Structure 1
Amino acid sequence: MTTARRDAVRRVLIGSDGFRSAQDIYADMRADGAKIGLTTVYRALQALSDSGEIDVLRTDDGEAVYRACRTDEHHHHLVCRTCGRTVEVEGPAVERWAESIGAEHGFTDVTHTVEVFGTCPTCAE
């Protein structure tokens, strides 16, 4: 895949608030006149995810949604179930627990993903 197409997908995510589905990204790009296929959007998202440039989250119904990372550091997300507002959070206790549980079972090179869901203050009003 060309870097130009991957950069175009990255730009859409940088200009977006919150997480977006591949279909939403594709629709926006097509509406703006981009000559890109949905498969290419998926490939770009996978490449961006693999390189750590974007965050990927699974919704309650199992759909993958994406957004541009705000930090290069390992982090987790606190996500509003209602509006999708997302806050990047650190979880030192989670980091220690993941390493500990891996070591307890003889695992090395342990990684993890933690997403926390709730209702943001605005939606709770």
Structure 2
Amino acid sequence: MKYQGSCHCGNVKFEAEGEITSAMSCNCSMCQRKGVLMWFVPRQNMHLLTPDDAASTYLFNKHLIKHRFCPTCGIAPYSEGTAPNGDAMAAINIRCIEGIDLESIPVTHYDGRAI
């Protein structure tokens, strides 16, 4: 299935292919504050519909994950990183995807504070 999403103002738009069978909620200092529900896909399954430089990047802790956000409205629609096996991954904030029923998606809780 192909999904489309964006930040609030539309300056950062994307589409992603795959099946949303679950999402992850993390309690690390960053995710807890943002309230992100992450859906992980291979980076090649996410395509930007706006220029890459439309999003700003925030790095923290070990600087392993690029937290991407819109500099205009502040919404963080996705992050980019590398899976343990070395594959490029995208963590898409499903709250930024249009037309899905968030209540129907099971959420797994991850203890990011323990890392």
TM-score by length of 1: 0.30
Greater C-alpha Rg: 1
Relative contact order (alpha carbons < 8 A, sep ≥ 6): 1 or 2 greater? 2
Higher helix share: 1
